[in-house]
Structure 1
Amino acid sequence: MPSGRLRDSTRRLRRSHWLVVFALGSLLVALTPMLGVAEPAAAGHAPGHRGDVPFDQKTAMSSPHHPAVPANAKEPAAPVLDREGWTVTASSAETARENGRAANVLDGDARTIWHTEWSGTATPPPHTLTVDMHRTAVVSGLVYRPRADNPNGRVGEYGISVSKDGQDWADPVGTGTLADDNSAKTLSFAPQGARYVRLTVLSEAGKRGPWAAAAEIDLLGDPGTPSATVDLSRSGWTATASSEETAGEDGRAANVLDGDAGTFWHSRWSGGTPAPLPHSITIDMYRTTAVSALSYEPRQGKANGRAGAYTVTTSTDGTTFGEPVAKGTWRDDDTVKTATFTRAVQARYVRLTVTSEAGGRGPWTAAGEIRLSGPADPSAHGSWGRLIGFPLVPVATAVLPGDKMLAWSAYAVDRFGGSNGYTQTAILDLKTNKVTQRRIDNTGHDMFCPGIAMLADGRVLVTGGSNADKASIYDPATDEWSRTSEMNIARGYQAMTLLSTGDAFVLGGSWSGGRGGKDGEVWSPDTGTWRKLPGVPVGPTMTDDPDSPYRADNHMWLHAMSGGKVLQLGPGKKMHWITTTGDGSLTDAGTRADSGDAMNGNAVPYDTGKLLTLGGGPAYERKPATRRAYTVNASGDRVEAARTGDMDHARSFSNSVVMPDGKVAVFGGQSMPVPFSDATSAMTPELWDPATGKFTPLATMAVPRNYHSVANLLPDGRVFSGGGGLCADQGCATNHPDGSVFTPPYLLNADGSLKPRPSITGGVPPRAALGTSLTVKTDKAVKSFVLMRAAAATHSTDNDQRRVPLTSTRTAAGTYEVSVPDDPGVALPGTYMLFALDAEGVPSTAKFVTVS
């Protein structure tokens, strides 16, 4: 037996499943004043108990028929499936020297383990563990609990596959790499029907040996998140309810369609006797269309009226409603819920009937917003790939040459705080979807909540954060991190941009390193030192956040232009010109039309000197976000701003990405921004078209992407969207250590197959000087070329992304002279992805080129 493998019984941990005790009978709830009138009040709960009886490890014992969830973990977003009748088999199991049978992962006892064979000659990976549920169920995730007494065998790189018959195994539904610790891991994937679920272990997390082990395995059921659906337009819809409150408050049914989660429908409660359950609300779309899911957003701010048990029925005439197309019971929390229909149906009317209040607090029902979804058309709405698991929450990301993406987080995979002097990082190989993990110690820098600038030579400069004065550089050519000189002003949540001169500019950042005084400074790549800019004070650039300056100077939108100049165009309502020569200067550049402050919104350069700003809100958190979007046109010293079309969803903490065709996709966000919360999540991305100024919906996401999420354009024209959460509380239900790749509509046919795309076959050197021409060869005729800057994202901000349309001339069949701009304020120095687009706007896979 390998050294250190003996289990010490004194260190064994008994893991028990959650004990949930429901109160019997009715709960009498006092009426409390709201807006000067009486309204049902939420029952009080002791902090930390979530309304349940406190967990008692001595009396709540696990059963092999019931899911085993770690006692220190929070309830997962999807239901844990009952394991009664399940069996499990493994490709390898140690039975000679210890009880390492596969069946141990289903016995409810964390002290017993499955372990691959190690006596004699150890079986090399890959190792497989296959669960047979002996029935078909909707499955959306696997919960892996490592053995507690010994690190050997912890799962590192993994794949998850599902099958309906145990014979036909399609491509993996989830892949990734797990962190080398003993916490329970939830490996999510798109919900689908299956009988068999297989975990394939490709490597041991700590590379200590060829082993794999597990204490317990659980499977998650239907989380109520639709796949391959898209929001239907609510224009012209009406809503009616069996009961609504109009005397004591504005609880009209119509409020569920107004796009404002702050208004809500509420069943009647005034007048002495509340209207009894069940309550129903009926949506009339005034047209018959295909519907496949209903999304329910609870009222925000109070728990009363959250829908519990429900059914959804549909009708074509408003009179005859058939059998339920969806039914179930929603959890008692404030997150958006979805009822996925058993099949898509043609309907004009959709009725939600609620038969119980989720928390059992009273006979009420309420809803903030209700949306309906239909089947997605990939050619119009795009599609999502499988979830990729990361060994950390990807809070910051940077796209690298060689089809790689760098991600980093904090000192630990699931927590932050302090100044620990090291950072957890990972690299995603975009060709294989493999993720490798690495801890960076040599720079003495905890790079959580940093500023980022992609340098002219392709390196990544990361500043501040938890270690607020530090600065580090990642070199993709050598895969090495190094330190550079410390900033003059310690910062966290600051904004950065590369300048046209090749220097890097930083401003703001009171989250860390003390509050206030985060004036501008510049870093030189020639000297590796920082220079203060006394003429660039931070004060005029700040928002009017009530928690100023701590929240008021965060995540600024910076756009570098010619001559070392910068346009600061948000998130404050006032814009400014910044110069960086000498002491620097800051002058007024007007306002973004009628926009207010838009903290945690986005600014995206979609064309030369043209930017789209969207979303955000008047404060960092707990103030409603906006649906509004604006265009900003900067030319010379002039800045013109105008309002463009509104998004369908209000969003803060979202991420936006400009595409090679000039359209802008926005992912995730909340209508009421609250860090570490998945409430009020916008699950439907949207696409803005500069030709029309309008937003259209894209295919619905499987995972909320809010605070601490990212999005990046990839070299094949797709988009990575991931992260969110990083709660300091281990097992936090809103931690999302994963991501997924979105395939935009321009790459897809209506049946989901890939459109033929052009290819760049030659003529792109690794480096190109400003003002030069490239002789680019393609395999077929193309219409245009565009440079897309390799970019870095964190905290809803990406000041590195930039789209540069190029002039080109066809000189022969498949040969084009492509001109690189001569102005470094247009083609900012650095690494770009060169795309060719055909007449239909289908982009090639990019070729990397460094412009200087």
Structure 2
Amino acid sequence: MQSRRSLAFIRSLRRSHLLVAFGLGSLLIGLTPWLGVVSQAAGRAPAPRPAPSDRQPAVQSPHHAIAPANAMEPAAPVLDRTGWTAAASDEETGGENGRAGNVLDGSADTIWHSKWTGTPAPLPHSITIDMHRTAVVSALVYRPRANGTNGRVGEYALGVSTDGQNWAGPVATGTLADDAGAKTLSFAPQGARFVRLTALTEAGGRGPWTSAGEIDLLGDPGTPAATVDLVRTGWTAAASDEEAAGESGRAGNVLDGSADTLWHSKWTGTPAPLPHSITIDMHRTAVVSALVYQPRKDGPNGRAGTYAVTASTDGATFGTPVATGTWRDDDTVKTATFTRAASARFIRLTVTSEAGGRGPWTSAAEIRLSGPASPAVHGAWDRITGFPLVPVATAALPGDKLLAWSAYAVDRFGGSSGYTQTAILDLKTGKVTQRRIDNTGHDMFCPGIAMLADGRVLVTGGSNAEKASVYDPATDSWSATASMNTARGYQAMTLLSTGEAFVLGGSWSGAAGDKAGEVWSPDTRTWRTLPGVPAAPAQTADPAGPYRSDNHMWLHATSGGKVLQLGPSRQMNWISTSGAGGIATAGLRADSPDAMTGNAVAYDIGKLLTLGGSPAYEKTPATRRAYTVGVTGGEVRSARTGDMEHARGFSNSVVLPDGKVAVFGGQSYPVPFSDATSVLTPELWDPSTGTFSPLATMAVPRNYHSVANLLPDGRIFSGGGGLCGDCATNHPDGAVFTPPYLLNADGSPKPRPVITGGVPARAAPGASLTVATQAPVASFVLMRASAATHSTDNDQRRVPLVSTATGTGTYAVSLPADPGVVLPGTYMLFAIDAQGVPSTARFITVS
């Protein structure tokens, strides 16, 4: 039951010059070598927000509908193909008209096909689009042939070039699903004249063929690559005109960090005519490469349409525009990527038309400026990896593998069909393999997840709400285990210090009622109920009731089988899992409100950080707030730490080996299946200062149904988002982020410590290891292999270790004896040098 976009729909999108911007793209960690074939209105009252039914489907027990009404809105322009040409590595001209140019003729009934008469040309096959002009490009849209299955692209690589002669490494790689749906292969936006698609395999393995019905290219989606937000401290804004009588529409509102305030052109009395301009004065000179424009979120009036951006060093002389264009009439955050970086103090945005043509108005909620990222300060993103599904849930595995799964289909959910689409990314080769799991009778969409003591992955509930399944990475196999006593979806899980697995909540799926806790035993493979642990004390005050209020709880397992439930409800609770269980208050999370769609991460022993979230699951503003929660015995202390620069709901957070925490993606106004108000700048929290700093901008939004995982090389995988069928916010892809601790200023990798021996496959709590390293190191740390879904990862845990040098390059490394500190399971052991650079990890199971 795959996605099928009708030809009429695609053509209608092309006519409006709009199409899905982000979709299948790819990241191949080490495509070696890069293939030789590739290396060549009247009143101004704010418009009301839509009612819930306008944006998010009503509950269809036990499942949502597939997507909201506006989900089909595409996110980037289809580039005009006038004057384009196409050339292929080979083409069929004997048995059929399979010339390369057919991919540009507007008809899916004509195709490019690799040569098959006589001696067929072997894979790989490539086709190169020459736009005969340079343009910002962000994706290639591939439409398989409409009249058959042969030649559908499987594994692929994308390259870009400005001259057709010099091709760097691939900008995207990945694997496409074997179906007839249109595929969008995304990459970081960049200027190019030539774009080359290379097919490495045929999707169905039916032969050495490649074919394509149509190919389009997408333009600037409004997400600049390799940039970072400039700090706005001390900035001021001035406008050509502003509304100060009928509302507070001052220019300075675009710099206050709130999307609830706005600059508006003058509209009382005689409205000021277009054009309107707003000038940012940074009060210092900086290199600027993009302007980020956030429209007002309370209505459409004044959305910027046609615009120009100019720069100045003195505020008097502004040169030729560094960016021009026309923004779409929607509420998504927009970026004007400069054709050339500008060293300037003043940046001016001039708007010459209103996007919706409703009147002579201009408004803006927020304006930010971006500059070139420094790898040693902001980190760097690798190429994008395309998956044959939307990775809604992921788990890091030994052997440099990342397990991903979604639902019964590669791009939609709600089937309760008893099977699940899965994929595995091999981090060494970059290849993604797909498999449908039928033998467990379990559609594992919206599950609970716990990494077990022996390294297996326990997945519970979701669409088939009572089911439970176990994945064994040692055998790459799935098996069914006993069903839960209570059917659940969106539930929370954690492994306990006893080695059992605890689950709580999950009213998204299954019959209504309090979703009290229960525990799974690895010895008996059965569940026992905990009548003393009702879900109600741990719920938020979401207006949707338990359906939303008991979702995605933040659970932290401690000694003696106890669990601290520290969110998203403002009320924290201690949970006992022995006998019938019990739940008791642990106090409030300082002055935090409920924070659904936020998350928590254990960054040190007994120390957790909570980030973002919103009072309700959707359509309420997210917060910038972050809190630390300290646990000492039965005492819980919570305090507010520094705020994030951006408010975030549906973000993902990952603790690094050095104890810092990176947060990716999210929305300032969380709405499922939407990329509006996306936050594209990750941030890094430093526990030593309690402050956040910006990281390099993401190329793809990561919101609802996105994930992030720490990898064994100290980098981070960030991917997913969407899973809403034929919509514009499906992101069946991911990318690996390299944190700044691994990079020099020029982007080259820093020398890293190396663990050369002494790490057994298994060790008991309290054991002492004799670890050998290639050169002296400063410390060792255990990072628990973890699993993520729906912004929640209760498996994350960082455990600094006590170590003593015993000789040149040898260390006695002590594991904590308390299984409430070093929770049973599989860990990544990192060595960290005196400069804070981590080694590549060695896997060890502690139990």
Cα distance, 1:21 vs structure 2: 7.6
| 1:758/1:837 contact within 8 Å kept | yes
Equivalent-residue separation in structure 1 for 2:547 and 2:7 (angstroms)? 45
Task: Give the residue type in structure 1 aligned to 2:483.
Answer: E
Report if the CA contact (8 A) 2:14-2:78 is conserved. Answer: no
Question: What letter matches 1:150 in structure 2?
Answer: G
Task: Confirm or deny: 8 A CA contact 1:227 1:700 kept in the other structure.
Answer: yes
Aligned residue runs from structure 1 range 191-270, under 5 A: 191-270=189-268
In structure 1, the partner of 2:645 is 648
**Segment of structure 1 superposing worse, 629-638 or 220-229:** 220-229
Counterparts of 2:546 and 2:193, CA distance in 1: 54
Aligned to 1:26: none
| SS of 2:293 mapped into structure 1 | strand
Q: 2: CA distance between counterparts of 1:163 and 1:119?
A: 31
- The superposition leaves residues 750-780 of structure 1 with CA deviations (integer Å, 9 ceiling, x where unpaired) of 1111100111111111111111111111111
Structure 1 Cα separation of the partners of residues 47 and 738 of structure 2 = 46
Amino acid at match of 2:478: W
Distance 2:410 2:14 in 1: 28
The equivalent residue for 1:319 is 316
Partner of 2:665: 668
* Contact kept? 2:752, 2:837, Cα under 8 Å: yes
Aligned to 1:136: 134
Answer whether contact 1:30 1:41 (CA < 8 A) is retained. Answer: no
Give 2:751's aligned amino acid: P
Aligned 8 A contact 2:772 2:809 in 1: yes
Partner of 2:438: 441
CA change 1:257–1:91 in 2 (3 A) is: same
In structure 2, the residue matched to 1:383 is 380
Q: Deviations over 1:273-297 (max 9, x none)?
A: 3211001111121222222211000
Aligned to 1:298: 295
* Cα distance in 1 between the residues matched to 2:49 and 2:163: 47
Do the aligned partners of 1:12 and 1:111 also contact (CA within 8 Å) in 2?
Answer: no
Q: For residues 13 and 74 of structure 1, do their structure 2 counterparts lie closer, same or farther at Cα, with a shift above 3 Å needed?
A: closer
Q: Answer with 309-318 or 631-640: which moved more.
A: 309-318
Q: Distance in 2 between matches of 1:315 and 1:149?
A: 56
Q: Deviation at 1:555?
A: 0.3
Write the letter of the residue equivalent to 1:483: A
Distance in 1 (alpha carbons) for counterparts of 2:75 and 2:544: 32
Shift of 1:433: 1.5
Q: How does 1:318-357 map to 2 (within 5 A)?
A: 318-357=315-354
Paired residue for 2:113?
115
The amino acid of 1:610's aligned partner reads K
Matched, 1:838 2:833: yes
Partner of 1:374: 371
User: How far 1:88 sits from its partner (Å)?
Assistant: 1.6
Match of 2:811 among 782, 806, 816: 816
Match status 1:633 vs 2:624: no
**Match for 1:249: what amino acid?**
E
SS at match of 1:16: helix
Q: Does 2:775 correspond to 1:775?
A: no
Following TM superposition, by how much is the alpha carbon of 1:163 offset from its aligned partner in structure 2, in angstroms?
2.0
**What residue in structure 2 maps to residue 736 of structure 1?**
731
Choose the corresponding residue for 1:471, options 468, 472, 475.
468
Secondary structure of 2:741's counterpart equals helix
Report the count of equivalent residues.
Answer: 803
Q: Secondary structure at the match of 2:254?
A: helix
Q: What is the match of residue 63 of structure 2?
A: none
Amino acid of the structure 2 residue aligned with 1:507: L
Q: For residues 660-684 of structure 1, give each alpha carbon's deviation from its aligned partner in whole angstroms, at most 9, with x where no partner exists.
A: 0000000011111101111111111
Aligned-partner Cα distance in 2 for 1:224–1:298:
13
Partner of 1:92: 90
Separation in structure 2 between the aligned mates of residue 19 and residue 428 of structure 1, nearest angstrom: 33
The share of aligned pairs that are identical, in percent, is 76
Deviation at 1:210, TM superposition (A): 2.1
Q: TM-score, normalised by structure 1?
A: 0.92
| Residue of 750, 760, 769 corresponding to 1:755 | 750
Residue 575 of structure 2 aligns to a residue in which SS?
A: strand
CA–CA distance in 2 between the matches of 1:114 and 1:75? 29
**1:765 paired to 2:760:** yes
The DSSP-based 3-state class of the residue aligned with 2:537 is helix
Q: 2:558 aligns with which of 557, 561, 567?
A: 561
Q: Is the 8 A contact 2:766 2:816 kept in 1?
A: yes
Report the secondary structure of 2:547's partner residue: coil
Describe the shift of the 1:381–1:463 C-alpha distance in structure 2 as closer, same or farther (beyond 3 A): same
What is the aligned counterpart of 1:31 among 43, 49, 66?
A: 43
CA deviations on 1:447-487 (whole Å, 9 max, x unpaired) are: 11110000011111100111111111111111111111110
One-letter code aligned to 2:346: Y
Amino acid of the residue matched to residue 348 of structure 2?
A: R
Give the drift of 1:798: 0.2
Structure 2 CA distance for partners of 1:548 and 1:13, relative to 1, 3 Å = closer
Q: Pick one of 355, 359, 363 that aligns with 2:360.
A: 363
Cα distance in structure 2, aligned partners of 1:346 and 1:287: 10
Q: Deviations over 1:165-190 (max 9, x none)?
A: 32222111100111111111110111
Q: Distance in 2 between matches of 1:81 and 1:447?
A: 38
Q: Determine the C-alpha separation between the residues in 2 that align with 1:372 and 1:205.
A: 42
Task: Give the 3-state SS of the residue equivalent to 1:198 in structure 2.
Answer: strand
How far apart, in 2, do the equivalents of 1:277 and 1:130 lie?
A: 42
- Contact 1:291 1:372 (8 Å CA) reproduced: yes
How far apart, in 2, do the equivalents of 1:781 and 1:710 lie?
35
Task: Report if aligned partners of 2:47, 2:300 keep a CA contact under 8 Å in 1.
Answer: no
Which residue does 2:24 correspond to in 1? none
Q: Tell me, in whole angstroms, the C-alpha distance in 2 between the residues paired with 1:695 and 1:204.
A: 45
Scaled by the length of structure 2, the TM-score of the pair is 0.92
SS of the residue aligned with 1:254? helix
Distance 2:167 2:439 in 1: 44
1:579 corresponding residue in structure 2: 576
Query: Aligned-pair distance for 1:93?
Result: 2.0
SS at match of 2:546: coil
Q: Could you report, residue by residue, the CA deviation over 1:102-150 in whole angstroms, capped at 9, with x for unpaired residues? A: 1111111100111223334433321111222223222211100011221
| 1:710 pairs with one of 704, 707, 710 | 707
Partner amino acid for 1:270? T
- Distance in structure 2 (CA, Å) of the matches to 1:693 and 1:277: 45
Q: Could you tell me whether the CA contact under 8 Å between 1:517 and 1:538 is conserved in 2?
A: yes
Q: Which residue of 2 aligns with 1:526?
A: 523
Structure 1 residue 41: deviation in Å?
9.4
AA partner of residue 138 (structure 1):
V
Counterpart CA distance in 1 for 2:329 and 2:10 is: 25
Amino acid of the structure 2 residue aligned with 1:338: T
Task: For 1:170 and 1:345, locate their aligned partners in 2 and report how far apart those are by CA, in whole Å.
Answer: 26
What root-mean-square deviation, in Å, do the aligned CA atoms of Structure 1 and Structure 2 show? 2.0
Question: Do 2:767 and 2:817's aligned partners in 1 also have CA atoms closer than 8 Å?
Answer: yes
Deviation string 1:164-223 (CA, Å, 9 cap, x unpaired) is 232222111100111111111110111222222111111111222222111001111222
- Residue aligned with 1:380, SS: helix
The CA distance in 1 between the partners of 2:244 and 2:342, in whole Å, is 33
Task: State the 1:40 CA deviation.
Answer: 8.1
Name the structure 1 match of 2:3. Answer: none
Single out whichever of 517-526 and 185-194 deviates more from structure 2: 185-194
* Aligned partner of residue 101 in structure 2, secondary structure: helix
Moved more, 835-844 or 437-446: 437-446
Question: For residues 674 and 41 of structure 1, what CA distance do their matches in structure 2 show?
Answer: 16
Q: Would the aligned equivalents of 1:13 and 1:148 in 2 still touch at CA under 8 Å?
A: no
The runs of 5 or more residues in structure 1 that have no matched partner are 1-10, 23-28, 49-71
Q: Which moved more, 1:440-449 or 1:124-133?
A: 124-133
Q: Cα offset for 1:94?
A: 2.2
Pairing 1:806–2:801 present: yes
1:31, 1:40 within 8 Å by CA — same for their partners in 2? no
1:424-446 CA deviation, whole Å, 9 max, x = no partner? 11111111211111111111111
Q: Map 1:363-512; keep pairs closer than 5 Å.
A: 363-512=360-509
C-alpha deviation, 1:73, in angstroms: 10
Q: Secondary structure at the match of 2:376?
A: helix
Once residues 260 and 160 of structure 1 are traced to their aligned partners in structure 2, the CA distance between those partners, rounded to angstroms, is 39
Supply the distance in 2 between the matched residues of 1:40 and 1:482 (Cα, whole angstroms).
52
